[in-house]
Amino acid sequence: MKRKVVGLVMAVMMTAGMLSGCGSQTEEKNEVAQETKKEDSDLSNTLVYAGESEDTINPILNNHDELPSIIFSGLMKYDEKGAPIEDLAESYEYDEANMTYTFHLRDGVKWHDGKDFTAKDVVFTYDLLTKDESLTASITSNYEDIKEVTAEDDLTVKIVMADYNAAMLDNFTIGILPEHLLKGEDINTTSFNQKPVGTGRYKFVSWDTAGGSITLEKNDEYYDKVPNIDRLIYKTVSVESTKATMLQSGEADLAWLNAKYADEFRDNDAYTNYDFKTADYRSVACDFRTDFWKENKDSVGVLNYAIDKQAIVDSVLNGHGFVAYSPIQINSYGGNEEADIYSYDLDKFAEEMDKLGWKKGDDGIYERNGQKFSFSIQVRDYEEERVDIENIVSQQLKKAGVELKVQLVTKFDWESGYNGFLAGYATPFDADGLYKQFVTDASENTMRYSDEKVDEFLKEGRHAKSEEERKDAYHKFEVAYAENPGQILIAYLDGNYVSIKGVEGLDTARTLGHHAVGVMWNIEDWTISR
């Protein structure tokens, strides 16, 4: 290994204790800790993964989705190319005339507690997503076209649509929940969210909140290929540098690292670097609930001229990514070059600011209507890569005459009046994933962005029946969004994973999602040797 890594790791050793565990169970902490210690004593066929901080493992509430994807199963799942195929559903038919899906379920599937999986569980899950008005899930807009879900018998489910939705097979990949454990529970607060029971490849064992680890073991009764690796210990880690430290010290076998840390492990025979493509991009997301952006929405796009995005890709990302101009560049429906309407051009920036009525004040900061072009963005202090991006953006904007104040926070505070945040979003599969983020009042549109053309084209893309029509709709969306953006797109990131040499089987064929989630899509094929 480069000698630099040793110095880097030693420099961050003080952060090694800053592992943050999430969850609500505290009454059995000592017992759980003892159990985890016993489990950790035999690591011969155990994978220790330095993952994300978590507070829930419920698939309809968890945005990271790595653990839910291996604990739970959906009617469908994604193959290596990101196409939906049958999972809990053995087969299905779609009746176009009646807009009805009929799913024939696998026989003999068991929940991890030994109970039978049936069609009632499917009905229960989709009723939650479509009828529970108290549900705080960000994905509910994906299911708004569902009219009715019924169990014809224990192994047959019918889902009637109110309107055709081209992305429904993708949406049917959501993990199914057990009715017998959750009926009558508040899904937002139930203890099940920290003690999940699924039907997937791995089953939950324990969550040691004090030690910051979640333990899973393989499901020997899994209906498909049983994993080779017996146990997975998922370390809940907040601090980016800590993950590099854990790999170097032997505390972790695998981690997603930011580009700079990942590069420190290259050319070292003790480690393997895996470089995935992702749909994960970084942006300065504007909060249109705040007065500043309500009054200055017309001035979001022009900021793109003042930011040297390629310089950020080269420096912060070490070249592991590319400049972003569209939310769906990485997607087969996206990449319309007609939406690439901004370049780094300070003269053009000044010209456009003048057209918008902004004039520089004595302090060099633009003003309009008695208001300075000054806004604040919150960034989580432990996300080093995002902090670096935002600091450079702030410096570049200051040079151009705009004041961006970087506010470092440990946890996002959505009620303190910050004008936005350094965001990450991803649409790794069907482009309809954009709908919930950008359509007016959609379930994940937390920044309250709204544009009539954007709404129109995303709805067209969702309901169009031909691939050609859908691609045309999304290309129109890209242009409309570029002309009236709700965020300043910066860059798409590669997903840089590092493992010890003994971990084998990771497959980089699939494009990963937000936070490079999805690396475990083929975990049943992985092996580990020490």
3-state secondary structure labels for all residues of 291-332? HHHHHHHHHCHHHHHHCCHHHHHHHCCCCCEEECCCCCCCCC
147 pLDDT exceeds 90? yes
Both structure tokens of 129: 């997503």
Residues 6+ apart with CB under 8 A from 152: 102, 119, 158
When the candidates are 2.40.50.100, 3.10.105.10, 3.40.50.300, 3.30.1490.440, the CATH number that belongs to 277-493 is 3.10.105.10
Strand partners, 159: 101, 149
Check whether 36 has a pLDDT greater than 90: no
Q: What is the mean pLDDT of the chain?
A: 92
The size of the chain, in residues, is 530
For the chain, where do the domains classified as CATH 3.10.105.10 start and end? 277-493
User: For residues 154 and 190, what is the distance between their CA atoms, to the nearest angstrom?
Assistant: 26
- In this prediction, residues 39-55 reach a mean pLDDT of 83
Least reliable range by pLDDT among 213-217, 236-240, 245-249: 236-240
Phi then psi for residue 339, to 5 deg, are -85, -5
HSE-CB for 290 with a 13 A CA cutoff: 20
Look at residue 31 and tell me whether its pLDDT is greater than 70.
Answer: no
Confidence of residue 262 (pLDDT cuts 50, 70, 90): very high
CATH 3.40.190.10 domain position(s) in the chain = 19-237
Q: Order of strands across the sheet with 366-368?
A: 359-360, 366-368, 371-372
Say which CATH class 19-237 falls into: alpha beta
**DSSP bridge partners of 160:** 100, 148
319: phi > 0 → left, psi -120 to 50 → alpha, else beta; which? left
Q: What is the DSSP letter of 110?
A: B
Query: How confident is the model over 19-48, as a mean pLDDT?
Result: 53
Q: Which among 163, 168, 166, 170 has a CA at the least distance from the CA of 464?
A: 166
Question: Which of 49, 45, 46, 69 minimizes the C-alpha distance to 58?
Answer: 69
For residue 514, count CB atoms less than 10 angstroms from its CB and return exposed for 0-12, middle for 13-18, buried for 19 or more.
buried
Exposure b/e, 291-329, CB count within 10 A at least 16 = b: ebbeebbebbbbbbbbbbbeebbeebbbebbbbbbbbbb
Contact 513, 280 (CB under 8 A): yes
Worst-scoring range by mean pLDDT, 55-64, 221-230, 516-525? 55-64
